[in-house]
Structure 1
Amino acid sequence: MSEPRVVIVTGAGRGLGRQHALEFARQGARVVVNDLGAALDGAGTSQAPAHAVAEEIRAFGGEAVVNGDDVADWEGARRLVACAVEAFGRLDTLVNNAGFVRDRMLVSVSEAEWDDVVRVHLKGHAAPLRHAAAYWRDRAKAGEPVAARVVNTSSGAGLLGSIGQGNYSAAKAGIATLTVVAAAELARYGVTVNAIAPVARTRMTEGVFADMMATPAAGFDAMAAENVSPVVAWLGGPASGHVTGRVFEVEGGAVTLVEGWRHGPRVDRGEKWPVPEVGAAIDGLLAKGEAPEPVYGT
């Protein structure tokens, strides 16, 4: 019988992260519940949400430990990975989920609002990923079998854009690209890296998808956060070893493979373009290409 997987879930105190942690535990994994316990805008800290999730896991016979490190701090991310290894002997899966929003139109966003959101989302993915990757590389170089998984959290805002969320959209787009790069770099060590773009009812989405947030009186609740977690648990598990570098949108009972930037129509003059002729060439390419999907909020 194989050993239970050891899984880190960041931002696991509430919302999607909480549901991911619970689902992994139900699947038999040992879980590191990471959370700062910050408010929606990132202010303040509290260990209470993370401890509550860990207690839920223990209540149904699972194993969990709490970690309160800041995932966007390089040293904090190193401690997070070390926490998993020290508590459970190894690390198999990293789920990057932590984040918050400070929504603002581009004409009024402050430098701090931009920096803080990009930091917690993009750097908050990169830092744990960097230290987990180094751990798995060392295991692979030592001749140990590695079947590691990383599941990142992008967003429809990062894939299509979202009015009033330039900082968040830019960070989430960066996460999607980081996923592709990490998948290519880490394959040699036995690591897969994928991302999800979840559509669900959380503190972060209430303002963006207000018209979709109502809980149905009966029947299937397509916006429940728990709907996303089975996909994350599968991507973070042993059966998904053939899938890497991919982004999946998960909404209710629907899973969509998201196909990102790819080369479309092309025109080659074979020499430097005269400025007056560029317009006709661009118009020709646009006529052959597909129209972009609309930005959220337009």
Structure 2
Amino acid sequence: MRIELSGEALEFGNQVRRALQAAGGDELVQAAEREPERRESLVAPVLGALGAWELRPRHDGEELEAAAALCRSAGYWAAPYPVAERLARPVDPDVDGLLVVSGDEPAAAVAGLDLRWAAVAFDGSRGAVTVRPPVGSARSSAFVTRVDVRPLDDDGAADLALALVLPCWTLLGMLDRAIELARDHVLVREQFGRPLSEFQSVQFQLTDAEVERRGADMLARYALWSIQSGRDDALIDALSLRSATLAAAETVFRIAHQLHGATGFCDESPLSWLSRYSLPLRRLPLGAAGTDELLAGLAGRDGLAGLFDPDGA
């Protein structure tokens, strides 16, 4: 079992992060919120110039790793664009991306984009998507809007694992940045004449956040390996990753906001934007409770094989 990303994939992710920083960095999501009609032009051409939309993560293991690294870098800057959903696109050439949907009122963060979408539900059914006009401002919706799904006579079960795993890599990038912002804040902020970073309680909180982030990181790499290997349990591994990443996000953002105090909820702080635009990833297509319920139903009495299963080595 090899769950480390290749050097090429890591370097590609670094290039994406630098390119997005040069294109605006934190300003990208702020500009998209002010002018939602610019949402696609702010991000898609930058990634297109790096060959992002030429990646074929369904057909090549190295390109799957590159796609994961790309999603992580996009999440680091809270790039206001559905990068993971585009990379998870099915083989069907008539669509630009794939959404995982659930419930009677499916929704996705795809408002204001001139793209063609397919959808897959957790029962494996495929559908064609019509995006409804957004209700409310981008600030209040974080680009989430209702979508209508017209069922197709097609089985999309094989699409589910990849379409669940790549958005988790985007969220993982957001956790990377949230912890980095929290560390930077406590290094420069003083209380009682000492940097906050010297207080033991602060050190314990940052350690808790980092442990959660590293656990999610390990499972993210394992889930990629599971997809690469064509495991029958790839969907269960993907849901396990989503469950762990949602739990990590809850801990990391809670601690980051606690350490920032009130400033963490102000627009002057990048944490405020990062936290707000993480919510669609954390709530759609299922929140933590729904994800755990579905995972428990699929895993059944046998439970999870997991990273340390002796038969999976």
Name the one with the larger helix percent. 2
Give the TM-score normalised by structure 2.
Answer: 0.33
Larger Rg: 1
